[in-house]
Structure 1
């Protein structure tokens, strides 16, 4: 079971948004078991807010899941990200303990946990350490293996550090600086979400601690149960980007050992499955959770 050797002082209260399934237009009873949504490295609870659909220009993906599944959805900021507090320890055990504390503090009944990338490994760590607290896991393009983070993440951190040091006043100025090392407009937009303008402030504030996250790059390539210790016997869905390398074929034997009820859905895209294929992501998640609930 997950336990905190250093005591409760090491826990970071997690900022969150609640997307409720209840509405005047949907009188059906809400299921008691909610869904937790965990973002990836350098993301936040707002990372997957807006996706485009044929019938609506911009909708909240977590709200779609709440509506489809009749379950409340909590989107969390993991430690050292978004509006949550900072702590020098940044690894999967500590992040899983934070989520465990969130579940217990809010008295949530056996939620399903969806996580992308860093959030996926956090969800798996939580499930293996506290299996009684979790009903299902959806791991989005990351597996229970040791695999170093791609080198561009170090470039992203250094680029954000440069923007911060230049004390820019607008996101447009920040974007111009990021263009020197980050060519993708969508990636820059994602990085820019970490810069906020506070009231009466003269320049944009970077919500992340670059030093902490630079030190975390090594640990985030690891996995606490990569040796096959522990087992989670409830349903697990792996969403695998076929153009990504984070869930290689060599990971499947270990996946079957520690997650004996795992399923895999392959999606023809890169690592950013939610952003690149939001409708395929939604359909896979809804089908999986409806089948097992």
Structure 2
């Protein structure tokens, strides 16, 4: 498997928007001969999965969108704060993850979220310094675009197969007033609320797992 561009060990590219990431995802599915996969994505990954399903509905069997919706929003300032914290870690040239965690604690108090962010660190074999795999400058410059959604009109794109939307009740990204637009783009959608913030997979992993398994096994979501 590969991560989205500019994440994990996937290639870095100055362009970082949902049209490009959707093209990457659909090309990956085609190149690997995947037959109607279920797409599960959180946050940026959720919008990429939704966009791929709307662009090529015949390619995708089901969608699980985690704490994001098919609308334009303003990103929380915490994302920019995370990038600043991660840059601070690189500037400090730390050699231990505990040192990185101590720096990031000034930017995020939740240990599970810090652990998630620090999962991008790797130790350079040349000098032992821990660096991030993700290109922080590119991601920092792209933040203004990552609240957007490439589809604006449900009359022009609709995904009529099963879709699950999982939202954190303490998060702002899927408020009740966007549920009608979700229903227009994804008329067979189900909604599950989990008592967590935006990083609900890290905060409530078992509740998330149960929600997804229940959705995938539900006879009502069969094609």
| Normalised TM-score (structure 2) | 0.92
Question: 1:176-225, CA deviations, whole angstroms, 9 ceiling, x for partnerless residues?
Answer: 22233333322222222121013233311221111110111111100011
CA gap of 1:266–1:183, structure 2 versus 1, over 3 A, is: closer
Contact 2:75/2:147 (8 A) holds in 1? yes
1:97 to 1:255, Cα distance in 2 relative to 1, 3 A: same
Shift of 1:277: 2.2
**Equivalent of residue 249 in structure 1, options 176, 179, 189:** 176
Deviates more, 1:176-185 or 1:202-211: 176-185
Matched, 1:184 2:110: yes
Pair 1:156 & 2:92 matched: no
Q: Which has the higher helix share?
A: 2
CA distance in 2, matches of 1:201, 1:100: 38
Q: Aligned with 1:221: secondary structure?
A: coil
Gaps of 5+ in 2: none
Structure-2 residue corresponding to 1:130: 56
> Aligned residue pairs: how many?
219
Greater fraction of residues in strand: 1
TM-superposed CA distance for 1:243, in Å, is: 1.4
Contact 2:112–2:202 (CA<8 Å) still a contact in 1? no
Q: CA deviation at 1:83?
A: 0.8
- 2:192 aligns with one of 265, 269, 272: 265
Q: 1:280 — aligned with what? A: 207
Superposed counterparts of 1:69-218, under 5 Å: 76-218=2-144
Offset, 1:148: 1.4
Q: Which residue of 2 aligns with 1:47?
A: none
Please give the per-residue CA displacement for 1:213-258, whole angstroms capped at 9, x wherever unaligned. 0111111100011333311111111112111111111111211111
1:3 corresponding residue in structure 2 = none
Gaps of 5+ in 1: 1-15, 17-75
State the secondary structure of the residue aligned to 1:260.
coil
RMSD of aligned Cα (Å): 1.5
Displaced runs of 4+ in structure 1, greater than 6 A?
none
CA distance in 2, matches of 1:217, 1:118: 10
Change (3 A) 1:93 1:169: same
* 1:82-123 CA distance string (max 9 Å, x none): 111101111111111111111111101000111111111000
> 1:182 and 1:235 mapped to 2: Cα distance?
35
Per-residue CA shift, 1:25-65, capped at 9, x if unaligned? Answer: xxxxxxxxxxxxxxxxxxxxxxxxxxxxxxxxxxxxxxxxx
Asked if structure 1 preserves the Cα contact closer than 8 Å seen for 2:168 and 2:197, the reply is yes
> Hey, what's the Cα distance between the residues in 2 that align with 1:85 and 1:200?
21
Secondary structure of the residue that 1:218 maps to in structure 2?
helix
Counterpart pick for 2:161 among 234, 254, 265: 234
CA distance in 2, matches of 1:281, 1:273: 7
